[in-house]
Amino acid sequence: MNFFLQGLTMGLAYVIPIGMQNLFVIDSALTNTRKRALLNALIVIFFDVALSLSCFFGIGVLMQHYQWLKLAILLIGSLIVIYIGVGLIQSGKTETNQSRSTTTLKKSISTAFVVTWFNPQAIIDGTMMLGAFRVTLPTSSSTPFITGVSIASVIWFTGLTLLISFFSDWFNPKALRIINLICGVIIIGYGIKLLFNFFQLILH
């Protein structure tokens, strides 16, 4: 039970600051029906748990051994992040329908995949936190620990979706446009920072 709680608390510490996923879940809760927003949250949870398992069991080792892999993830990820930010700004400039829209399932899955697996910071943070912590755990404790990490993802993204969805009626179309613009600017800045980190690694 102790290792499960450790995994739960570390999982929350790992997932809460990952802005790309949170912004996607928040935007989904504001612009979709509650049922579709919860479905989108479950899709994010699936990819997030898959990423956590990969970081915990081995992707970090690959990144540590192959510098070119880390550089590739940084470069491709930063460009995709900037692209997503530009898309949010453009959508923020268009008129937003007051009624609840529903994105296609295919688009929800692809976007959730991108904001999780093409987010270099999420992979790096997961490698540092989960991959490194695994070394300190007894073999028998790995399962309850990573279970706690997975449950943290479920609690956070489901709770965030329900909270934002409950208060979504407070946001009019103008407020949604402003939110998209602000989120777009934040994401672009985040992508530029990742691109800067890429060039720093290249120069060093």
pLDDT computed for residue 152 by the predictor: 94
Running along the chain, 204 residues long, what does each successive block of 10 average in pLDDT? 84 77 86 90 94 78 67 75 75 52 79 82 73 69 88 94 85 68 76 80 77
Yes or no: say if 29 and 164 are a contact pair by the CB < 8 Å rule. yes
pLDDT computed for residue 98 by the predictor: 44
pLDDT computed for residue 101 by the predictor: 55
- Cα angle at 111 between 106 and 113, to 5 degrees? 95
pLDDT computed for residue 87 by the predictor: 74
pLDDT computed for residue 173 by the predictor: 64
Yes or no: say if 200 and 71 are a contact pair by the CB < 8 Å rule. no
- For the record, the structure tokens of 52 come out as 């956590």
- The DSSP code for 130 is I
- The DSSP code for 94 is S
Q: Chain-centre distance of CA 132, in angstroms?
A: 20
C-alpha torsion angle, residues 191, 193, 199, 204 (rounded to 10): -140
pLDDT computed for residue 97 by the predictor: 46
Whole-model pTM?
Answer: 0.73
